[in-house]
Amino acid sequence: MGKNPLCMTQFYKILSACRTPGLKKDMWECFPPDEPNPPTHVTVIHNNTFFSLEAYGKNHKPLSVDQIYNQLQKVVEMSKNSSTPVGILTSENRNTWAKAYNHLVKDKTNQASIQNIKRSIFVLCLDEILPGDMSDERSVAAKMMLHGGGSQLNTGNRWFDKTIQFVVGRNGICGLSYEHTTAEGPPVVSLMDHVAEFCKTEHDEGLPAENVKPVEKLEFNLDNKSLEAIDQAKKDLDKQVKDLDLTVAKFTDYGKNFPKSVKLSPDSYIQTAFQLAFYRLYNEPCATYETASLRKYQHGRTDTIRSCSIESLAFCKGMCDTNVSQEQKRELLKKAVNSHKNYVNEAINGQGIDRHLLGLKLAAIKNGMNVPDLHMDQTYSTSCHFKLSTSQVPSKEEAVLVFGPVVPNGYGLCYNPQESQIIFGVSAFNCSPETESNKMANSVRQSLIDMKNLMAGSVQAKLLYNEPCATYETASLRKYQHGRTDTIRSCSIESLAFCKGMFDTNVSQEQKRELLKKAVNSHKNYVNEAINGQGIDRHLLGLKLAAIKNGMNGLIYIWTKPTVPVVILNYLPVRHLLGLKLAAIKNGMNVPDLHRDQTYSTSCHFKLSTSQVPSKEEAVLVFGPVVPNGYGLCYNPQESQIIFGVSAFNCSPETDSNKMANSVKQSLTDMKNLMAGSVQAKL
């Protein structure tokens, strides 16, 4: 963590580990590879049927991909019909499962099968059945990983006591489920990232393994008592599945990049957004748990970061108070974020309070003493009623961990903050009339947007070229018969004034807003003139040709030369000028002096050639640049997104399509932030 080494023991335990139910307490077992007779097989479950698949051949050589595939095909062939879902027992209340377990293992066949599962490296669940509604695939995938969907879907196709279960659905939905005893989320996600990265590349496996053992089906002898326990487990599980409300959301406006750009801790910033989201929904703060890793200590696990603080509450109140200025709100946000950051540093360095207090309580109980009065105080109980239970689990992949709330009227909130997006899962219980996962997810989104808008006043986008350029946009003349196009010159005196103002720290936010409005309205006026034949000449070309042909050379054009690097032609009929030039050439006349003027040539060197082509679909047209050092930019503006294609020539050292695309994104974001001052999120 930073420059500090971390304890890595959890990485050695997440494979070949399992939890066993007990009447008084559960037992945890691990069968590591550095001990005698380490496991060499994995458990595969398909259609609720369990198999043991040897992963190694002669001389401990791993099976090749093709060999594993062939073995899995045999698993599927041997389990075409669904079996009694023994695995659903592992979803039961631990005491209930312990009783069923003790009865099961009285049978030697059952005992051997369960021991085989416990000793396996991991479990692979091949899910056959899919939910009927797949409209929200991310959330459906999360539910399949968390609980399997219920007794009618895939919950019987699990063994929840195993630390690692990889899950693969028939439609390609995949992920893993993990049992928390062994490790926290980061080591498990590191394993997932490694698997995902490994699958992206080709590997020379050499010769296939020899002496591959056939797949072994694991048998269970189930008497009436066990069958009754399974039926009851189905009912209990289905109630829990029905009660869980789960939403996975992807916030794409920004990610860790923005908080870092304003010198704020990304995790503390996101946690403050959670506080604001909750406060807006319920008009009050709540006790909030965030996982603090203690892995800088040997065998360290976790402590609690209490994200709800005096500073976070002051910020939430300030954000919802119209009498508090933007500058004051910014300061309140910075204080809230920095307060959280300080708490994090204390917690990960062993200065948190919760594990110390828990130790006192457990020590008192173990020694037959009264629990300290502090633990019996109502205030302490309220402070431990974590309506927000949160955890940051970063991953390189587009993935997120999910878990249930820890109190009936609370939320579980896990998040993966990536560089330019944040993926988070929100859970709640349907039995609570107070909570709703989608409502909370939307409130988090709005809080993240509003916090960026608040902080954006101090953000300066990087100057790409520090100058304007002649810009072509297509104007349609289809309101005229056989009409085609003319040019909208998007670069104007007003647009240049806005661009300069955006990068001038002496220009106020209000002045910048006015400059933006003027630039937009100026462009709008130009568009209206262009599409109404006021700056266009293709349909008038014949008239111009006739005029020149008949010696009518007295046409006067107003030519403005503003003091900018690129001449901006306002109200200049572009197609008229083209007509003049073509007519002169056609009639053997000299091209008008205007066309030979360097200023005119510069004004027609369209470094930005653009076109708006709307579509109902997620599609966009693309075309190449019209000058060697320019860009082609076509865009499809939809109701809630803009899809655009940017082209450039690699031979030009000045241009880079990705750089331009990112600059467009940043400009759109900054312009929204600029105009957002009058926008108030609803409480």
Specify the 3-state DSSP secondary structure of 482. Answer: coil
Residue at 469: amino acid letter: C
CB 19 within 8 A of CB 160: no
Q: Which of 46, 103, 147, 180 is catalytic?
A: 180
Specify the 3-state DSSP secondary structure of 19. Answer: strand
Strands 388-392 and 288-293: parallel
CB neighbours of residue 171 within 10 Å: 12
Give me the sign of the Cα torsion angle 460, 463, 468, 471. negative
Q: How far is CA 106 from the centre of its chain?
A: 48
Specify the 3-state DSSP secondary structure of 409. Answer: coil
Indicate if 180 belongs to the active site.
yes
29-45 residues labelled b (16+ CB within 10 A) or e (exposed): ebbeeeeeeebbbbbbb
Tell me the HSE value of 214 on the side-chain side, using a 13 A CA sphere: 5
Q: 357 exposed, middle or buried (CB, 10 Å; 0-12, 13-18, 19+)?
A: middle
Token couple for 96: 């209930």
Residue at 420: amino acid letter: S
Q: CA of 575: how far to CAs of 473, 478, 567, in Å?
A: 13, 15, 17
For residue 92, which of 47, 156, 41, 140 has the smallest C-alpha distance? 156
Residue at 448: amino acid letter: L
CB 491 within 8 A of CB 564: no
Q: 324 exposed, middle or buried (CB, 10 Å; 0-12, 13-18, 19+)?
A: middle
Containing 51, the helix (H) or strand (E) segment is: strand 49-54
d(CA 178, CA 329): 41
CB 38 within 8 A of CB 16: yes
d(CA 633, CA 657): 9
CB neighbour list of residue 566: distance below 8 Å, 6 or more residues apart: 467, 468, 469, 470, 491, 602, 603
Catalytic residues: 180
